[in-house]
Chains A and B, each alone.
Chain A
Amino acid sequence: MEGEPSPRSGAGFHQGSFPLAVNVDLQTDATLQVDISDALSERDKVKFTVHTKSTLPNFKQNEFSVVRQHEEFIWLHDSFVENEEYAGYIIPPAPPRPDFDASREKLQKLGEGEGSMTKEEFTKMKQELEAEYLAIFKKTVAMHEVFLCRVAAHPVLRKDMNFHVFLEYNQDLSVRGKNKREKMEDFFKNVVKSADGVLVAGVKDVDDFFEHEKTFLLEYHNRVKDASSKSDRMIRSHKNAADDINRIASTLYTLGTQDSTDVCKFFLKVSELFEKTRKIEARVAADEDLKLADLLKYYLRESQAAKDLLYRRGRALVDYENANKALDKARAKNKDVLQAETSQQVCCQKFEKISESAKQELIDFKTRRVAAFRKNLVELAELELKHAKGNLQLLQSCVGVLKGDT
């Protein structure tokens, strides 16, 4: 069976409901509004239609759209990271690569096992898997959109040249994925960076605020990582249980149709009941995924970005202190003093610039985080309640009917 449906998502994404699930107070003001209005999934890649509405003078039109792929988002993100000017900001985390492998595998397995199940079962499972595929698809679109919205909402980043090119240039950006050598370079760079990071982190900061943030972020990041993976596992078990109920419902149905005794009514009623409760259980798992797992995953990435900011500041601090030492040495030797002075001044300015914006960024990060958690936890509880009540009603009415029958 041919692996995949290619969902075309139309106006569904336009409302921007998804990104707000994760990140709340994105000022969507009229000067620059970005969203992903459409997406198309092909064999190996996903094509996003990025739609912009802007009153800013630098754009040729007020409203326009381009088609972008995942690699181009990464290119944009990396360009921010590599830009020294933005060292003092939390760079919005890059969206994860669209990953349909698991879903595709399942669809394939289903196709292979087609012979071993009844037609109804097969159609049911196929629908399930297609729904799952669609859900993953929607999620990846949402994550790409959040990235763009964060950039558009940031007072400095939204003015970035590359960003504008990304939004406007309607040809292919010819951004190829990194080749093997570049990937190796990246790998080594990361190794060096994390070693350096440890060294830098070891340097005690004079500023209490930053010292506190450092300790806090480190611990927080690790715990969010743990919570994220545990929540994933929990939700997967939930999905498994829902699948089992699906199978039970089918078998009960067969039993009900075969049975010649009084109990066949029971079987049929319960089968019907389980069909409905299973759908609810699956929704519960999906909502938990959206409100809890995705939230944690997002803040895992954001906290990493915040850590990166602190690292950059720490690096700048170390450089500044080294420059101070060099200056003292130069003054003592009375050699290359001017050079040392300028270098020290540069370092000082860099450090102070970073520190200033970093403080605000971290405060904003906390505000965003608290708001996002609040929104999601409230919505999670409300949805759990709604589903539990729905389930309860179905169960109670079924029990009532069955008891009446005996």
Chain B
Amino acid sequence: MAAEMEPPPLGDAGQTDFREIEDGEGFFVSTVTTLESPEPSSPDPPSMPAEGISTNGPKQEDISLDDDPEDLFAEATEEVSLDSPEREPILSDGPSPAITPVTPTAMLTPRMGLGTAEMFERSLDEIEEDDSGDTFDMHIAVSDPEKVGDGMNAYMGYKVTTKTSMTIFSKNETTVRRRFSDFLGLHSKLASRYLHIGYIVPPAPEKSIVGMTKVKVGKEDLSSAEFVEKRRSALERYLMRTVKHPILLKDPDVMMFLESSELPRAVSTQALSGAGILRMVNKAADAVNKMTIKMNESDAWFEEKHQQFENLDLQLRKLHASVECLVCHRKELSVNTASFAKSAAMLGNSEDHTALSRALSQLAEVEEKIDQLHQDQAYADFYLFSELLGDYVRLITAVKGVFDHRMKTWSKWQDTQLLLQKKREAESKLQFANKPDKLQQAQDEIKEEIEELEGKVQQGEKDFELISKTIRKEVSRFEKERVKDFKVVIIKYLESLVQTQQQLIKYWEAFLPEAKAIA
């Protein structure tokens, strides 16, 4: 088998069709990919000026981005991802996902030049437009994996070809070369920007130390070739899923990823980088927080959906495990059939009755063809069925993450409310303080704080409503995609099974007269 493993021919569709369907990404939970926005100790609502920045008056009404966004990240412990209002592609060396960035409207505003709030509403409406059958005409292919470099610093470079007629892209067809960490870098940027406001960001394929080491070391064997093909296919699906999302498609990082010839290395995706460790710490903190947040769910829809996704998750995992088992056993069957074929050929050779000897040799040939059939079927099992299930298991984890973010947003809002209440109580207590000289100053201070907090509470409520609204839209989009994906893949898979049976019939029909001819 060549280094590029081809999935079995699916009807006449060939490879491109197959990949079109298989959009979405491979997903393994890793420290890199399941980035929920790990926030600094005092979480900030994205579009709000940070606490402690007293310079920016709380202007809740219009989410103005005239404020210098850099101050937002004053508490951040890492390098900042500079999202300036001017139109600058996000060129950051080590974008730290620890930073809570500005809303996506920052990206859209410069290009469109519209008010940010309207912009945001627009983008949600656009989703509806897309749903109404707007042509999404884009095709991404990941191909030509090539090893670059030597030894432990070697890596696989992939060719990413984008073909589209959409106007937001500068060219109809673009080709760039990317490496795996570039994909991870893209995902981490998208995740840090969009996950915490409720968008389901497709997870990137998982890192695999064992797999990559084999490739680096230069083992030119079947398993490393299979690994590369598996990864290539996963990367393709990841990109397709990402661009199918109408908001993510327009993200400048995505565009840059697809179009620009050079991309700064995403160092923070390495597991042992500073960013990586911070991610792990934040993940742990998140897990603890999740357990302590007790949300009063006022909206039954969310309750229901959450439960549905839990069930779906469970069943998909189970199914995935069974299908992986099937793939394994079919491969075994193929190997054992091949070995039996050889044995039957030997038996045929030593049989001294000529007609029987010939029949046995024919049997051996049939079995050899059948073993190839089994192998092809195993590939179909894997690339069609198993990988789809794996992708969806990971996607659902992202969905659950988004639900968690909503909880966090709610909890933040509630906390701010509590704080406000305390301040109000403090204020009324001040009335009865017995230090009149300091009273006025203290009262003024408290008044200011209360005003600020009132603003925050309002913002918190807005954020919560916004994220709830976004999630509803996202879930409905997700479900549509899911139904489409599964339907298409299931039919394709069944067709592959049909083909296998048809071939089997051909082979045995050819053999039968031979067996009957034994005199």
Binding site for B on A (CB under 8 A): 212, 216, 219-220, 223-224, 226-227, 230-231, 233-234, 236-238, 240-241, 244-245, 247-248, 251-252, 254-255, 258-263, 266, 270, 273, 277, 366, 369-370, 373-374, 377-378, 380-382, 384-385, 388-389, 391-392, 395-396, 398-399, 402-403, 406
B56 at the interface (CB under 8 A from A): no
Which A residues touch B323, using CB under 8 A?
244, 248
CB of A373 within 8 A of CB of B359, answer: yes
CB of A248 within 8 A of CB of B495, answer: no
Which B residues touch A263, using CB under 8 A?
482-483, 486-487
Q: How many chain B residues touch the partner (CB < 8 A)?
A: 56
Contact for B495 among A224, A266, A270, A399, CB less than 8 A: A399
Instruction: State whether A251 and B340 are in contact (beta carbons under 8 Å apart), knowing that A237-B329, A262-B483, A263-B487 are contacts in the complex.
Output: no
Q: Mark B310-346, 1 if CB is under 8 A from A, else 0.
A: 0110011011001101100110110011011011101
Closest partner residue, chain A, to B333 (CB atom): A237
Which B residues touch A384, using CB under 8 A?
504, 508
Which B residues touch A252, using CB under 8 A?
319
Instruction: State whether A382 and B512 are in contact (beta carbons under 8 Å apart), knowing that A226-B343, A230-B340, A392-B505 are contacts in the complex.
Output: yes
Contact for B356 among A261, A373, A398, CB less than 8 A: A373
19 extra interface residue pairs, beta carbon distance < 8 Å, beyond A231-B340, A237-B336, A399-B494: A220-B350, A223-B347, A226-B343, A240-B329, A245-B326, A247-B322, A248-B322, A251-B315, A251-B318, A252-B319, A255-B315, A258-B312, A260-B308, A366-B352, A370-B356, A373-B360, A381-B515, A395-B497, A406-B487
Contact for B326 among A231, A241, A389, CB less than 8 A: A241
Closest partner residue, chain A, to B340 (CB atom): A230
CB of B518 within 8 A of CB of A374, answer: yes
Which A residues touch B482, using CB under 8 A?
261, 263
Q: Among the interface residues A216, A219, A224, A244, which one has the most CB atoms of the partner chain B within 10 A?
A: A244
CB of A395 within 8 A of CB of B501, answer: yes
Nearest Cβ in chain B — how far from A347, in angstroms?
A: 30
Which A residues touch B498, using CB under 8 A?
392, 395-396, 399
For the complex of A and B, 8 pairs with smallest distance between CB atoms: A237-B333, A244-B326, A377-B515, A374-B518, A392-B501, A230-B340, A234-B336, A227-B343
Nearest Cβ in chain B — how far from A160, in angstroms?
A: 31
CB of A241 within 8 A of CB of B329, answer: yes
Q: How far is the CA of A238 from the CA of B491 in the complex (A)?
A: 24
Instruction: State whether A261 and B479 are in contact (beta carbons under 8 Å apart), knowing that A234-B336, A241-B330 are contacts in the complex.
Output: yes
CB of A230 within 8 A of CB of B339, answer: yes
Nearest Cβ in chain B — how far from A390, in angstroms?
A: 9
Which B residues touch A380, using CB under 8 A?
515
Which B residues touch A369, using CB under 8 A?
353, 356
CB of A378 within 8 A of CB of B516, answer: yes
Which B residues touch A226, using CB under 8 A?
343, 346-347
B502 at the interface (CB under 8 A from A): yes
Instruction: State whether A234 and B340 are in contact (beta carbons under 8 Å apart), knowing that A223-B346, A391-B501, A402-B490 are contacts in the complex.
Output: yes
Query: Which residues, 347 to 391 on B, are CB-close (under 8 Å) to A?
Result: 347, 349-353, 355-356, 359-360, 363
Q: How far is the CA of A391 from the CA of B344 in the complex (A)?
A: 26
Q: How far is the CA of A213 from the CA of B248 in the complex (A)?
A: 77
B120 at the interface (CB under 8 A from A): no
B509 at the interface (CB under 8 A from A): yes
Closest partner residue, chain B, to A377 (CB atom): B515
CB of A233 within 8 A of CB of B512, answer: no
Q: List 18 A-B contacts (CB under 8 A).
A: A216-B350, A230-B339, A230-B340, A230-B342, A233-B339, A240-B333, A258-B308, A270-B490, A270-B494, A366-B353, A373-B359, A373-B360, A374-B518, A377-B515, A378-B512, A378-B516, A381-B508, A389-B505
Q: How far is the CA of A206 from the CA of B355 in the complex (A)?
A: 28
CB of A370 within 8 A of CB of B353, answer: yes
Closest partner residue, chain A, to B515 (CB atom): A377
B183 at the interface (CB under 8 A from A): no
CB of B512 within 8 A of CB of A381, answer: yes
Q: How far is the CA of A238 from the CA of B331 in the complex (A)?
A: 10
Q: How far is the CA of A369 from the CA of B357 in the complex (A)?
A: 12
Which B residues touch A251, using CB under 8 A?
315, 318-319, 322
B169 at the interface (CB under 8 A from A): no
Nearest Cβ in chain B — how far from A22, in angstroms?
A: 16
Q: Among the interface residues A224, A248, A402, A406, which one has the most CB atoms of the partner chain B within 10 A?
A: A248
Instruction: State whether A248 and B319 are in contact (beta carbons under 8 Å apart), knowing that A230-B343, A370-B518 are contacts in the complex.
Output: yes
Nearest Cβ in chain B — how far from A24, in angstroms?
A: 12
B18 at the interface (CB under 8 A from A): no
Instruction: State whether A266 and B486 are in contact (beta carbons under 8 Å apart), knowing that A216-B350, A237-B332 are contacts in the complex.
Output: yes
Nearest Cβ in chain A — how far from B332, in angstroms?
A: 5
Instruction: State whether A224 and B337 are in contact (beta carbons under 8 Å apart), knowing that A254-B315, A384-B504 are contacts in the complex.
Output: no
Nearest Cβ in chain B — how far from A243, in angstroms?
A: 8
CB of A374 within 8 A of CB of B497, answer: no
Contact for A241 among B333, B349, B360, B515, CB less than 8 A: B333
Instruction: State whether A233 and B340 are in contact (beta carbons under 8 Å apart), knowing that A227-B347, A244-B326, A370-B518 are contacts in the complex.
Output: yes
Q: Among the interface residues B339, B502, B515, which one has the most CB atoms of the partner chain A within 10 A?
A: B515
CB of A238 within 8 A of CB of B333, answer: yes
Nearest Cβ in chain A — how far from B243, in angstroms?
A: 23
CB of A374 within 8 A of CB of B501, answer: no
CB of B491 within 8 A of CB of A399, answer: yes
Q: How far is the CA of A403 from the CA of B482 in the complex (A)?
A: 17
Closest partner residue, chain A, to B516 (CB atom): A378
Q: How far is the CA of A66 from the CA of B347 in the complex (A)?
A: 40
Which A residues touch B329, using CB under 8 A?
237, 240-241, 244
Nearest Cβ in chain B — how far from A250, in angstroms?
A: 9
Q: How far is the CA of A248 from the CA of B326 in the complex (A)?
A: 9
